[in-house]
Structures are given as C-alpha cells and as structure tokens.
Structure 1
C-alpha cells in the first residue's frame, strides 16, 4: 500500500511507493514538506507523471531524478495557458529542457528495484494521460475516479478517447486491483465496474 499525501484545495493526491530503501513519487503536485518527510532515508528512483496538469506536476523539478511521462503531454508542461499554472496564478519554476524527462509508451515496464511498473496509455483527459500498474495497485491520475471518470472539456481532452481508455482499463486490469486516483477516495476495479454509473454506461456500449 502506498503512502498517500492527500491533495487539498486544487491539488491532486501524491503517492509514494516504497521498496526496501528506494521509492517512487507519483504526481508531486504540492505538499512539499510532507513529501520530504515521507522520503527521508529513501532514494527516489523516479517520478511517475500521470499527466501534465499543474496540480499533478508543480514540484517535479525538486527531486533530481528521472521523470517518466508520455510524449503527448510534453508540450503541455510549458503551456501555462492550458496546464493550470495561469488559472491558479502560479509561477512555473522549471523548464523541461533542464529536467531528466524520459518518455514511456503503452505497455512499457519500468524497473523498480526487483519489481516493475506497467505503463498504460489512457488518453482522454489529456492526450498523454497515463495510468501506472504496480503489483495490484493502479494509479489513474484523472482518468478514473471513485464514482466518476475524467473530464474531457479541457485542452487536449477527448470524450471518444476517454471512452476507449476506460474500456481498455476494465478489459486489461483485474477486478481485485486497487485504484488510487488523483482526487477523492481510493476504490477498486471491481467496485467501479459495479457502482460507477459512467463506467457502466461506457462498458455497455
């Protein structure tokens, strides 16, 4: 089970996955002090970025480690009109050319100590939205929520692509998989298949 640093106001949750003396940070959008408290004594192997909205990535420059993301969201990192920086009146303190950004694609396996993290490309909320499957844990960013799915009315969003991504997730990921979304409560694939009206509608098509 990950360390969960809950987002507040407009921030997303940050998740920290630990394995022996190593850790992964998923979506460091804020709460810097809390993140630092939880990673003390651990080597940060890398950051996993589900998508390039400010509430998920404002702090990506602070950890001096590789950042895994999809290439289709790369330009969104600096598109402050559409990534949320301007909306929240925040100043971006990084430029991607100064970061160790590594592009991953659907089906890639990222090593983590003696385990791997599987990359699942799930466009819809943004073009480069990703979910990450680690053991029986799925980190969904803003693609899938408890009782909901990601909005598609923002820059790069597509209802058609989100529908395909939801179908893909529920076909590919096992029912007993725990779901850790970018906002709200954790859930499971089984629970969302049964209770999520948006998912049920999509899967019925």
Structure 2
C-alpha cells in the first residue's frame, strides 16, 4: 500500500504584506482549493496550471482586504465555490445568500480530501482555520511565534485568548501550522513549538493577555518573530 498522502499543500508568498496563499491539491481528482486569494491572481493561476489542477473551491480564513482582494479576479478564471463561516459573512456583509456558508465543526470534501473548519474568533468574529489531516492553515489567528491583531474592526482580544487556549489544548503537538503571513524567521511550525515559544500561548490569565496583546506586544517585538521561551 502506498504511503503517499492523498493531498499536498503548495505555498505562495504574494503581495506587499507578505501574505501566504495556499493551494490544497487533492491528488485523486486533480481538484484544488485556494485559501485566501489575494494580490497576484496570475501567479495563483500559474501555480494551479503548473500542478495541472482545477481550482473548484475558495476557502476564506477571514474577510480583511489583504486576504480577499484577488477573489473577484480568481472567479473570472474558475467557477469555484466560496467557503466562509456565517459569522464572518455577517461581519463582512457579503455572500450572505450563498449555500457555502458554514459553522465551526463543518467539513468540506475536496475530492477524497477532508477539510475540517475550525471557528477561531478574535482577529475577526468569524475567523476560521482549516485543518487537513495533521496540517492547519491558520490565517491571521495564529502566526509563527505571534498572533493576529485585535484592535481592528471586529477584533476581540478576549475571544483571541480563548481561541488560542483551545487550539493549544485540542490540536496534537505535532500538528503543522501554516500561517497567513510571513512574519517569522520560519514559515511553518508545530503547535508544540508554539506552546513553548509563542508568547501569546504562555498566558494563563485573561487580563494579562489582553494587556500584552493590546498595549505591549507591538512596542517590544519586531518581525521576524523568533521563539521566546516561557519565563
């Protein structure tokens, strides 16, 4: 029996904000899902053509402009379904009538590849992470040694605190994380490494987390982020 995975994840770094755009490729059907299409649609299309896949699905981690500004352009090339969480569609005000709105805990079937949707509020009300086997695409919820801002419209540091706690408790330590931006000295990590080295994962008290996220972090840390062991 072959040990080859039924899927692969291709990473593109595009745009002035160092966004990561991901192509999830189902090997059995040559279907692909693109996560957060933005900035450079021709490069996304070129990557799909190189893989000889058809983009049939678009997964949005959240609705901020730097993660969705390529959506209209991409849909001119592919007749793809858009997937996002219902709370995010309500926050954004778009795609409220589409049959592809989801709740946390739903699954998307991309050929023979199952994608689990995790509701991870904090950066926005309907932020989502997408779990594929032992991989999680985290958008702006969890960066490598960082986390998303909570001072933008829709942000909530209390929700972010509980979201990160839940991810740290529920995901196995070996789970591979794929963030929404290239803000760190490395492009991927594991949840175990983040529990050890991500300062946002070290807080046990809500108010201390909120103070650090909202008032301290941006003054004392600069990218590229590096591991900061627990003190």
The alignment's TM-score, normalised by the length of structure 1, stands at 0.84
CA contact (8 A) 1:7 1:183 kept: no
1:29 alignment partner in structure 2: 38
Alignment of 1:102-113 (within 5 A): 102-113=100-111
Q: CA deviation at 1:138?
A: 0.5
- Summarize the Cα distance change of 1:203–1:131 in structure 2 as closer, same or farther, 3 Å threshold: farther
CA distance in 2, matches of 1:108, 1:125: 20
CA contact (8 A) 1:68 1:102 kept: yes
Q: CA deviation at 1:170?
A: 1.2
> Unaligned 5+ residue runs, structure 2?
1-7, 210-231
Alignment of 1:11-160 (within 5 A): 12-20=19-27, 21-40=30-49, 41-61=52-72, 62-63=74-75, 64-77=79-92, 96=95, 102-160=100-158
Q: CA deviation at 1:58?
A: 1.0
**1:6-26 CA distances to partner (integer Å, 9 max, x unpaired)?**
033125210001112111100
Q: CA deviation at 1:203?
A: 8.1
CA distance in 2, matches of 1:66, 1:107: 19
Q: Secondary structure of the residue that 2:100 maps to in structure 1?
A: strand
Moved beyond 2 Å, runs of 4+: 61-64, 75-78, 202-205
CA distance in 1, matches of 2:83, 2:175: 22
Aligned with residue 6 of structure 1, among 9, 13, 35 = 13
CA distance in 2, matches of 1:119, 1:171: 17
CA contact (8 A) 2:24 2:32 kept: yes
Q: CA deviation at 1:197?
A: 1.2
1:194 alignment partner in structure 2: 196
The number of aligned residues is 188
- Summarize the Cα distance change of 1:96–1:186 in structure 2 as closer, same or farther, 3 Å threshold: same
Two-structure CA RMSD over aligned residues (Å): 2.1
> Unaligned 5+ residue runs, structure 1?
79-94
Q: CA deviation at 1:122?
A: 0.4
After alignment, is 44-53 or 58-67 more displaced? 58-67
CA distance in 2, matches of 1:65, 1:8: 22
CA distance in 2, matches of 1:181, 1:202: 23
- Summarize the Cα distance change of 1:7–1:101 in structure 2 as closer, same or farther, 3 Å threshold: farther
CA distance in 1, matches of 2:47, 2:192: 30
CA contact (8 A) 1:66 1:101 kept: no
CA distance in 2, matches of 1:59, 1:32: 6
The alignment's TM-score, normalised by the length of structure 2, stands at 0.75
